Amino acid sequence: MRRFAMSVATYAGCGLFAQICAWLGFLPPWLPAWWCVGAAMVNTLFYLAIRSGYNLRLRDPSMTELQLVVSMVAVMVLVYHADAARGALLMLFPVPLLFGVLRLRLLQMLRVGLVAVTGYAVVMAVLLIREPWRIELNLELVNLLSLSAVMVFVALMCAYISRVRVELSSSLARIEDMAQMDALTGVFNRRHLDATLLLEIQRWGRRSRNGLVLCMVDVDHFKNINDTYGHAVGDDVLVAVAQALGTSIRANDYLARFGGEEFVILLDMSNAEDWLTVCERARRQIEVLQVAAIDNTPVRISMGVALCAHGDTAATLLERADKALYRAKAEGRNCIRVAPESTAITAS
């Protein structure tokens, strides 16, 4: 719709230009008004097609190429009546191609350019047959040659810019993915977690989900691993833990690295037996994890669980889960503890 609005504004500018040409005597006085009426009718049809959803049935829902072809025909009408100002009005032909930068590929751009060149040749042929006194053939041939060269050049440049735009869009998407993924473990990072947790609490408040359970996971004695084997090996352990946690939870659950050796799991369930099953499965998955870099020394995790309650915010939910995690570490590690504010059972 933004592109459509820009197109309508361009038609309005061309209509004003045509009116100025008419005042100066280069176009018939009646032409600008009728031209604007025709442009308004055509654009109304495009608007209705977009608003009704009919355009979604087409291969190109934006109808960019079709709109450009129609605009070329509109320029041909002005060119036909321009006489002495015909060369100046040829400058209007490349303008629609600029809209193709937002959508069209090179072949499509060349097709639209071919419509303009062919249309101008047809206009000249019609004038030569019906009103030969209105044209100077040699001058029109020069105009045609110039228009052909300009349209090819503009089409090539617009297609190049369009390709660069697509590449930039793809690069931006990759950058956005990188910005929300933890570079080491490949799971979501803290930034993405903060945004997701806020949205999920809002969903829970609207009853759009059954229940929200936040699990804070910490790798037990991770400092000892770093001190004994080095930080590079510690990174390998974190990657292995993230992969094991990812395989132990369900496809609709959520995993993010909170920071350091801590991870957060979000579960969509309210039944204590359900979320406890997932948490226990994750704990056991880590318990049998073997990492060659640490000579298959057992890796253990502690988990603190908080069930979202009325009045909870992202900060309070994280705080409650963190307190439960400290209880788990204080009570022997390698276990699951539930935030005391919740009414859920405590498991170990």
- Only one residue has tokens 């209509």, namely 15
Active-site pick, 261, 262, 280, 331: 261
> Considering Cα of 205, then 207, then 209, then 212, what sign does the dihedral take?
positive
How far apart are the C-alpha atoms of 128 and 26, rounded to whole Å? 19
Whether the CB-CB separation of 263 and 257 falls below 8 Å is answered with: yes
How far apart are the C-alpha atoms of 214 and 271, rounded to whole Å? 13
- Reported as type and span, the H/E element at residue 104 is none
How far apart are the C-alpha atoms of 245 and 286, rounded to whole Å? 7
Note if 261 is an active site residue.
Answer: yes
Pairing label, strands 212-219, 262-268: antiparallel
The residue among 212, 191, 245, 218 whose CA lies nearest residue 316 is 212
How far apart are the C-alpha atoms of 144 and 129, rounded to whole Å? 17
How far apart are the C-alpha atoms of 44 and 143, rounded to whole Å? 33
The residue among 151, 142, 49, 27 whose CA lies nearest residue 100 is 151
- Reported as type and span, the H/E element at residue 39 is helix 31-52
Whether the CB-CB separation of 23 and 83 falls below 8 Å is answered with: no
Coil vs helix vs strand at 259: strand
The residue among 61, 74, 71 whose CA lies nearest residue 103 is 61
Nearest 10 degrees: CA dihedral of 46, 49, 53, 54?
-120
Cβ-proximal residues to 284 (8 Å cutoff; 6+ apart), any chain = none
Residues annotated as catalytic are 261
